[in-house]
A and B are shown apart, each in its own frame.
Chain A
Amino acid sequence: MATGIKDKVAILGMGCARFGERWDVGTEELLAEAFDEALKDAGIERGQIDAAWFGSALDSVNVGNSAIPASIALRLDGIPVSRVENMCATGTETLRGAAYAVASGAVDIALAVGVEKLKDTGYGGLPIPYKGTLNDLWLPQVSAPAGFAQLAGGYRAKHGINRDDLKGAMAHVSWKSHQNGTLSPKAHLRKEVSIETILNAPMIAEPLGLFDCCGVSDGAAAAIVTTPEIARALGKRDLVTIKAIQLSISSGIESTMASWDGSFVRNTRTAATRAYHEAGITDPRKQLSMMEVHDCFSITELVTMEDLFVAGEGRAVHDVLDGFFDRDGGVPCQIDGGLKCFGHPVAASGLRMAYECYNQLLGRAGARQIASPSLALTHNLGGVPYQGIAAISVFGLHG
């Protein structure tokens, strides 16, 4: 019987590049920025890394296929380096690979690193993904906001909420993250934005306006993981361990069968159920100290509150407006500003979320520090709500 990876893997060190329009650096330098910080935090030399998982999602604007570019950029001579790609879950996938390698006993110390250089395309927003030869023949080519905007109509119809009330709650989601982002030195967007500005922004994909959409940035983040025993042997006292990492991928049910009603993300619910089981969480609303979720769009974060079982069914609008997810609320969400303020360099985001959890748990979050957190959750959504990937990690203090 599988026992999961709870407390089998500790974070030895983490690093996160400054996110933003990094006209000054290329992919290699972004990788190095996150890697250097992680090495220093871990207190090891690169030669002590036994294996690495490298994530990049959009190779058309990044470094190309395979792990070779990362191995060369970081001079990881001769060790196994794997490149993983799983859309917006890529960063969490790198951590899963490294954590599983450590938990299995195959290696002592493993590196997870993700990077994306989105600002070398010449335009805002994400590059157009390739859908495959068959899908190309029938599936509409929609933008990311158009894919996620589908949730709005479905949610309104199911819960009988009018357009303005939903839009108001969505605006609060973005307003709260922009407030938080002002306290994040590594965030891309660090200005407050008023509710009025959010509500009156140009439409991107109905009902998502400009400020309902996350930023688009360059960025990289890295984690070095090992066993709790080795971490202690290397002199670490306070340890953050991985409590759970779970993924759920669509098999076509939502997009092909009549059962899904368009109001929620099935994969998030499946992955959350498994992650809570792995981590031993029974009441997430009470037990979670904080969350870093995939707020690619405001509607996504709102629906995610229910999909993670932190808000009751149909209650997210009220919880959001009550400030339950604000920095001083019951379960603070996006304390670092989230994708909204960091932007979403695809393969880096999952690790960037873990970086915030890690620092909060260790009490190193500076001006953003919340009081005595014990359990922190990250959540990524790849693809689109009806055909995608959910990745959930839970981190906590060891022992």
Chain B
Amino acid sequence: MSFGITRYGAYVPRLRLQRAAIAAANAWMAPGLKSQGKGTRAFCNWDEDAITMAVEAARDCLPGSARAEVRGVWLASTTLPYADYQNGAVVAAALGLSPALSTLDLAGSQRAGISGLSQALAGGHEGTLLIGSERPKAKPASTQELGYGAGAAAFLLGRENIVARFLGHAASTSQFADHLRDSDSDYDYFWEERWVREEGYAKLIPQVVQSALGNARLGIADIAHFILPSPFRGAAEAIAKRIGFAGIVADNLGDWCGHAGSAHGLLMLADALERATPGEKILLIGFGQGVDVLILEVTEEVLARRPSGGIDAAKSSGILTDSYMRMLSFYGEVKPDWGMRGEKNEKASLSAQNRVADRLAGFVAGTCRACGTVQFPRLAYCVNPACVAPAAQFDDHPLTEESAAVLTYTADWLSYYPAPPLYVGFAQFDSGARLMMEMVDVGPEGLEVGVRLSMVFRIKERDRQRGYNRYFWKATPVAS
């Protein structure tokens, strides 16, 4: 029986930095970077991490009606915010998924995303939502700083309405250390690129490709799309040539996004699915302490089941900046003087949070059955003074996918905020609900009353003393 990908989606942070700005700022000590100073790289806003991007990719993948199909959430990343506190549980709660499902965090290698997808497909794990999400860090003035990006991609697996059918896979393991990052470090440590290409890619990949093709009873000529996520320019083309591939070598999204670690192969797969035509076969390679090779066949469903956003929307919704300092600050590479207002204590009460955790993560308002008023937060009584019915009469009303508009706003330059100014104002939802919200990813045009808003899941506060993030929803102007 057929098994495969039934839905997919992607997210890339909207902030894009001109690589030329990185190269120019570091020209004093690394003039050679200028040759890589082309295009843009995506970078996370201060309030985005592997969890929030995973949520956004999953939302792109799953319309509300499809969420009941999810049986498990597998989250692959090497940059998860928590080492011991399951990150996937936050993602599941933000998606409003049923608590009766399994969650699993996959880590340990940038291959984790493709390995996870291979395992879930080969194992026939129906209802698995496989997400790869990465916010890689790089030292200032490093090649990686120019080459890295960020992003997430999500795939729902099942037996019906398959978009890309699983045909076969193969894997190998190896101690090969193209790069590594020890547990206490923020940065990858790389060995020479030429050695990685010749002794790593060229020697380890071809035999696994052959095994996977054999398992799928296919030859390389049957493959239309070849995907090898690599931070090295031209590496995929070289391997494709070596194994005799003559089809389309997938775009590595380098011009505008940059390499997104364990999410990158999955982002490239999402991109290929947006472009592929029914019947085409895709060969996807994951590299890192061995190799995974996965072969998929695109079906007619691919035309009907495009994600609401996907890679094309992610690419076109970028907010361009040439402020290198802004990225450095968001990634903790410079520590600007935020003044005394930045000294505040962000300790959260875990017990208080637990009482409302699902309502906050799922942004669940209450609809009063007595008078119909939709309200957030839901307290003991209905807010309507003519009603004041007890909250026992409320129905759940999630606001995450509801459209809203700016009622009032300001740009606050006084409050401590890691990405000044703090845009804040009332979001008026179409259902009648309203609340004061942070408004993020506001472009240079600013805000105005009436601007349409959509909701995004973000870090509300970072408690740096205890390493605990509070997540909540924020509003963002709908990309035009």
Contacts and interface: CB of A to CB of B under 8 A. Distances in A.
A287 interface: no
B423 to A, nearest CB: 9
Nearest to B406: A153
A72 interface: no
Nearest to A139: B436
Interface stretch (B223-231, B255-263, B298-306, B344-352): B344-352
A253 B383 contact: yes
Given A137-B470, A252-B383, A145 B432 contact: no
B435 A386 contact: no
Interface in A103-145: 121-123, 125, 128, 133-134, 136-143, 145
Contact of B341 (A123, A157, A257, A262): A123
Interface stretch (A172-180, A203-211, A228-236): A203-211
B410 A205 contact: yes
Contacts of A149: 410, 412
Contacts of B415: 141-143, 146
* Residue among A136, A205, A256, A258 with the highest chain B CB neighbour number at 10 A: A256
Contact of B413 (A203, A251, A255): A203
A398 interface: no
A196 to B, nearest CB: 21
A257 B376 CA distance: 9
Interface in B309-356: 339-341, 344, 348-349, 352-353, 356
A158 to B, nearest CB: 9
Nearest to A124: B414
Contacts of A122: 340
Contact of B409 (A150, A202, A204, A257): A150
B414 A205 contact: yes
B426 A142 contact: no
Contact of A153 (B360, B373, B408, B437): B408
A204 B413 CA distance: 5
Contacts of B348: 136-137
Contact of A156 (B376, B426, B449): B449
Contact of B408 (A150, A256, A258): A150
A207 to B, nearest CB: 8
A344 B375 CA distance: 34
Given A122-B340, A150-B426, A145 B412 contact: yes
Interface in B402-447: 406-415, 421-422, 424-426, 428, 432-438, 446
Contacts of A136: 348-349
B384 interface: yes
A10 interface: no
A26 interface: no
A151 interface: yes
Interface string A300-320: 000000000000000000000
B340, B410, B412, B460, most chain A CB atoms within 10 A: B410
A203 B360 CA distance: 33
Contact of B385 (A140, A156, A208, A253): A253
Given A204-B413, A257-B384, A142 B408 contact: no
Contact of A140 (B339, B349, B411, B424): B424
Contact of A138 (B409, B410, B446, B472): B472
A11 to B, nearest CB: 35
A251 B385 contact: yes
30 contacts: A125-B341, A125-B414, A133-B349, A133-B352, A134-B352, A136-B348, A137-B348, A137-B353, A137-B360, A137-B472, A138-B360, A140-B422, A140-B424, A140-B436, A142-B415, A146-B414, A150-B426, A152-B410, A153-B408, A153-B410, A153-B425, A154-B408, A205-B410, A206-B412, A255-B426, A255-B434, A256-B376, A256-B435, A257-B384, A257-B432
The list of the 10 closest CB pairs from A to B, nearest first, reads: A146-B412, A149-B410, A150-B408, A133-B352, A143-B414, A262-B408, A206-B411, A143-B415, A258-B432, A157-B449
